[in-house]
Amino acid sequence: MRSKPYLGAALSSAQLRSERSSNMSGMFCCWLLFLCQVWSLHAASLDTLAQQSSIYYQHVPSELSLERVEQLTDVHSLKLIVHGFLGSRSHISIMPLRNAYQAQGFEHVLIADWSPAANLDYPSSRRAVGRVALVLAKQLEQFLERHNVSEEAVHIVGHSLGAHIAGRIGRYFNGTVGRVTGLDPALPLFTARSDDGLRASAAMFVDVIHTDYPLFGDLMPRGTADFYVNFGRAPQPGCEEVDLLAASKLILQAYSCSHNRAVLFYAESIGLPRNFASIPCSWKAIRSSSSCLKGLAAFDLNSTAIELAIGNMDDGQVVYMGEQVTRSATSYYFLETNAAPPFGQGVHAKFD
């Protein structure tokens, strides 16, 4: 007679598997809840730090918070400078801009300080871009309304992560600000689809200077006119040894000689507006670092005509990079620079 199977052990095994599955599910849910809480706390912390961002009016010899600025009249040009990662309103990476503007008699210069959120680890500072931009945009909006300044009079200049913040501020105003200038927009953790990245729609005119690809600077076209200085790549002339040190430290030390060159080039252009002559170039030539002179015919130009126009400082024929850039400039431009100041080659510009 066949004996009946004993079911007790089987039932115990099934129950055990069920309990283990239940425990694993419970542990997963606990970890998921924990991670969500940590993420929420981190986001809340970023919000708090972003709220500490402020804009300061540069009133020689000191500065004023925006609410302390007395009534301004007939403001035709307003500059707002935005620093980058690990920076502040007194950081060496943007002081050349402020000093150059003041030396040339620009009266209304503002500097944004988002140092509480900028001095974190890079991924956290990068995530703060949209939050910081919103805080600064609202402060700027209130300032413009209080002093009856048109949005068209506003020119926002941002470096590195600050270039993306500048773009987001511009888009807060639906692209109605007069101009946004991106000085070597930050590359790490940004793509063409990044919603908080600098775009040509940020202002009525957007010019971008590229100097530090593939370290900290982006090569991607992001403006109405994109200037690729020495093909936009590191090392820039004069930065060869310094950039090797920066590359070895990567994001741990967010200083690159080539990355900061964009600031120095632009600051120089404020006092020497025709020092950075450029020539139009195809995107294919920019990407491959090929000669742009060979493609001049596609733009109805030739090297002889370009040399003559540069020699005559004819800004009707030549597009100059920097503060006085021609607003009709579009697409991609190439230029070379010197290894030391003055960086611009002026009438001696070469495009080899």
Rounded to whole angstroms, what are the CA distances from 224 to 109, 163, 207, 345? 24, 14, 6, 24
| Predicted local confidence at residue 13, as pLDDT | 57
On the CB side of 211, how many CA atoms lie within 13 Å of its CA? 29
Q: Catalytic: which of 108, 159, 164, 259? A: 259
Measure CA of the first residue to CA of the last residue in the chain; give whole Å.
100
Indicate the average pLDDT of the chain. Answer: 88
Instruction: Give tens-digit pLDDT for 90-146.
Output: 999 999 999 999 999 999 999 999 999 999 999 999 999 999 999 999 999 999 999
Cβ pair 321, 335 in contact under 8 A: yes
User: Is pLDDT at 34 greater than 50 in this prediction?
Assistant: no
**Cα 103 to Cα 270: distance, rounded to the nearest angstrom:** 9
> What is the pLDDT, as a whole number, of residue 95?
96
Percent with pLDDT over 90 in the chain = 78
- Domains recognised in the chain with CATH numbers: 54-274+337-348 (3.40.50.1820)
Q: Is the pLDDT of residue 231 over 80?
A: yes
Question: Which residue carries 């052990």 as its tokens?
Answer: 9
User: 35 falls in which pLDDT band (50, 70, 90)?
Assistant: very low
Strand order in the sheet with 205-210: 62-65, 54-59, 109-113, 78-82, 154-159, 179-183, 205-210, 225-229, 331-335, 277-280, 319-320
pLDDT at 15: 54
User: Which one from 54, 160, 256, 269 is the annotated catalytic residue?
Assistant: 160
**At what angle are helices 129-146 and 161-172 packed, to 10 degrees?**
50
Task: Give CA torsion, residues 294, 299, 304, 307, to 10 deg.
Answer: -100
212 CB-contact burial (10 Å; exposed 0-12 / middle 13-18 / buried 19+): buried
**60: pLDDT strictly greater than 60:** yes
With a pLDDT cut of 70, the percent of the chain lying above it is 84
Q: Which residues are within 8 A (CB) of 83 and not within 5 positions of it... i.e. 6 or more apart?
A: 89, 91, 93, 94, 111, 112, 113, 114, 115, 118, 158, 159, 160, 162
User: Quick check: 167 and 182 in contact, CB under 8 A?
Assistant: yes
User: Could you confirm whether 259 is annotated as catalytic?
Assistant: yes
Mean pLDDT score, 181-203: 97
Phi, psi for 62 (deg, rounded to 5): -125, -150
Question: What whole-number distance in Å separates Cα of residue 211 and Cα of residue 231?
Answer: 8
Does residue 24 register a pLDDT over 80? no
What pLDDT was estimated at residue 294? 92
Say yes or no to pLDDT of 3 above 90: no
**If 0-12 CB within 10 Å is exposed, 13-18 middle and 19+ buried, where does residue 14 land?**
exposed
The pLDDT of residue 289 is above 90: yes
pLDDT at residue 21, as a whole number: 52
**According to the model, what pLDDT value does residue 315 have?**
86
The per-residue pLDDT for 128 is 97
Decide: 279 and 333 in contact? Cβ < 8 Å: yes
Catalytic site residue from 113, 184, 207, 218: 184
DSSP assignment, residue 213?
B
pLDDT digits (tens, 9 = 90+) for 295-351: 999 999 999 999 999 999 998 889 999 999 999 999 999 999 999 999 999 999 989
- Once rounded to an integer, what is the mean pLDDT over residues 1-30? 49
Which range is least confidently modeled, 5-19, 183-197, 272-286? 5-19
- 70 class by beta-carbon count within 10 Å (0-12 exposed, 13-18 middle, 19+ buried): exposed
CB-based contact 319:331 (threshold 8 Å): no
**E strand or H helix at 12, and its extent?**
helix 8-51
Write down the pLDDT at residue 71.
86
Residue 44 pLDDT greater than 50, yes or no: yes
